[in-house]
Amino acid sequence: MTPALIVHGGAGAATPPALQAERRSGLTAAFEVGWNILVQGGTALDAVVQATVTLEDHPLFNAGLGSCLTEDGTVEVDVSLMDGTTFQTGAVGAVRNIKNAIQLARAVMTDGRHVFLVGEGAERFAREHGLPHAAEDELITERQYQRWQAQQTTGEPGTVGAVALDSAGGLAAATSTGGVMGKRSGRVGDSAVIGAGTYADSTIGACSVTGDGEHIIRATLARTAVELMRGGKDTAQAARTALAHLTRQTQGEAGLILLDPFGRSGVVYNAESMGAAFRSEGRFVVRI
């Protein structure tokens, strides 16, 4: 089985020219990390986790370092992860002071007692499992702080994610976000919700979603896209149909990445732009 990987850096407003090169570099780096795992025989789950870590560590993506701020001026992140072979999942919501929340979601998955932890309980779980802590101001970039001060709530792509197919035929998906600028503390969006922001089934497909979280939850967009392939649609058709469903039902704005068990991909969005990196016909493609 030939591996496949797609990473995304969020759908939303077009990236300002001054930031395009750095965001392109960030997407490329995330893809390379995940791709190297896959070509060395690693699992799809490891690939999507490490690709997402790379994007969480980049200051120009809305996840981890670089997350937008709540109305209180704090960072609260939402993450989910799904293994399409075992159907194991891990998710955390409204989590503060965690450097890489995707690793916390992975720990929740591995622990197996629960699927979804939020707030202080998730943070305590992270400490108990020795995951890297971050002081509150360590995750706040000057750029996002200035946007918060100016009450600038639009103009930024949101959410990062990845979907992967490994050489054993396993599919996995991951999604991570800082949410929306100025959100209420405690708000949890689609990125933490299995079936909405993230879904994977190794017999059908894997999907990660970005966009208007409340609308995406209402449409259970990730699973909708995957289930459309069960009905016979290819990845591109399924992605377009799912997005049309979202638009028709909610008028929401979103983008999604989708892989099937043969490595065929779908990347669609109805926002102004969406950053993504993938291989197509043996050629590396990165879009901003």
DSSP 254: E
CA 185 to chain centre: 20
Please answer whether residues 51 and 161 qualify as being in contact, where contact means their C-beta atoms are separated by less than 8 angstroms: no
Q: Which residue has the tokens 């020219």?
A: 17
Residue-wise pLDDT for 71-113, tens only, equals 999 999 999 999 999 999 999 999 999 999 999 999 999 999 9
Question: Phi and psi dihedrals of 175, rounded to 5?
Answer: -145, 140
The pairing of strands 89-95 and 116-118 is parallel
- Beta partners for 160? 176
| Cα dihedral across residues 267, 276, 101, 144: positive or negative | negative
Question: Phi and psi dihedrals of 121, rounded to 5?
Answer: -65, -40
- Predicted TM-score (pTM) of the model is 0.97
Helix (H) or strand (E) holding 118: strand 116-118
| Boundaries of every domain in the chain | 4-287
Show the low-confidence residues of the chain (pLDDT under 50). none
For the 4-287 domain, the top CATH level (class) is alpha beta
d(CA 123, CA 110): 16
Order of strands across the sheet that contains 160-165:
116-118, 89-95, 77-83, 171-177, 160-165, 4-12, 273-280, 283-287
Q: Distance of CA 38 to CAs 23, 31, 175, 176, Å?
A: 23, 11, 18, 21
**How much is the pLDDT for 232?**
86
Residue type, 237: Q
CB atoms within 10 A of CB 141: 17
List, in order, residues 6 or more apart from 32 with CB less than 8 Å away.
Answer: none
**How much is the pLDDT for 140?**
95
**How much is the pLDDT for 171?**
98
Residues annotated as catalytic (active site), given as ranges? 159
